[in-house]
Amino acid sequence: MRRVAVVGVGMTKFGNLYDQDVKELTEEAAFNALQDGNVDPKDVQIAYCGNAVPGVVSRQAGITGQIGLMSVGITGIPITTVSNACSSSTCAFREAYFAIATGLYDVGLAMGVEKTVMRKEDATLATLSIGSKFLSLGADGELENIYGISFPGFFANAAQRHMHLYGTTREQMAKVAVKNHHNATMNPYAQFQKEIKVEDVLNSRMVAYPLTVYDCCPLSDGASATILVAEELAKKYTDTPIWVKGTGQASGVYANSEEDLTRFLPTIIASKEAYKQAKIKPKEIDFAEVHDCFTISELIHYEDLGWCKKGEGGKMIDEGTTELGGELPVNPGGGLKARGHPVAATGTAQIAELVWQLRCEAGKRQVDGAQTGLAHTLGGLTHADVAVSAVAILGRD
């Protein structure tokens, strides 16, 4: 396999983008990535577009990539839609990486886009039905709905179990939200660019104990895109190529035990694969973007990604290890919690943040001395387990 570089990244602002449809979001993110990488649309030979919730607001019927990319001049090539819950665009990135690393193609595009937010007056019975199912169920509604499983409910159970086993506190979870909101104030693409305090999190409306509104990420609109090229072409497009060091992906193992609520085995499996490909150890990661769909999630990811022992995620946040300026900054772009979470667009937005950091282009949120970064997403629930996790590791050399 040959080396692959990321030469261009781009995204839209994340948030309640009422006046932009999914086609316009796709166009904007793809155009920004092409411009950033000095890539002619005709150079792109293959593309993968993550889109997890087609039909909620969009009207593209599963061909979101083809319709959006057509507008920026990318036509006639293989374009594949990847639908893998919140990991959709991380998986799209992985597929584009393999397509180039194996020598089948030289230039590829990987992106994600989601349009899930709409005005009340624009809603129809059909869109409300699709949207409410997505928001209120887990992943396998036929089996899970009768038990009342929802995303907040699942992670609330994980939080309660983590608190019981390891003494994790609500204050430690709240510190995740405070940190990520602070980082987002320095990210012009973020949905929530305001500081919050621990007390704000603890006193906000309860959703599913112990998780309050401020412990939960929003559901957003947005798109993000990346351009990948083979090593021999990298210098044609940029003087600062960022290299794909390793990727990993895994599905749920569906183990049923109370302890398993406090670890996500797909993340453990996927990260081990990525670390092995990159030939590095977990402690060699300089900074990371992880899937903080709920504050407890980020603490669990610290443990599953190998940065601390089981049960010590709360200690890491207490010690400031994962803050900007800490030993291992996590979610310098604001995370899902504050940058926003347009489901399928999150993964390549994380990768865009890695690229900006590794190029030293992140402005006030720049991680000093960043050489190696990790992006991590997980998605879906099935039988008391997450259904998919994907990891990508990028580096400056």
Six-digit token string for 18: 């009422």
Six-digit token string for 207: 């959703």
- The torsion angles phi and psi of 392, rounded to 5 degrees, stand at -135, 140
Catalytic sites, residue numbers = 86, 341
CB atoms within 10 A of CB 3: 14
3-class secondary-structure state, position 47: strand
Q: Tell the residue number behind the tokens 């190529």, with chain if given.
A: 241
Q: Which residues sit opposite 108 in a β-bridge?
A: 46, 228
**Alpha helices, DSSP H only, in the chain?**
22-36, 64-70, 88-101, 125-136, 141-144, 151-166, 170-184, 198-203, 231-237, 265-278, 295-304, 313-318, 335-339, 346-358
Among 266, 234, 222, 247, which residue's Cα sits nearest to residue 374?
247
CB atoms within 10 A of CB 226: 35
Among 15, 141, 50, 14, which residue's Cα sits nearest to residue 390?
50
Q: Tell the residue number behind the tokens 């155009």, with chain if given.
A: 31
Cα 366 from chain centroid (whole Å): 19
CA atoms within 13 A on the CB side of 270: 31
Q: Which residues contact 179 (CB under 8 A, 6 or more apart)?
A: 317, 322, 323, 330, 331
- Beta sheet of 386-395, edge-to-edge order: 79-82, 46-50, 107-114, 222-230, 4-11, 242-251, 386-395, 372-381, 287-289
Q: Do the beta carbons of residue 350 and residue 341 sit within 8 Å?
A: no
CA atoms within 13 A on the CB side of 188: 8
Distinct helix (H) and strand (E) counts, the chain: 14, 11
Q: Do the beta carbons of residue 328 and residue 303 sit within 8 Å?
A: no
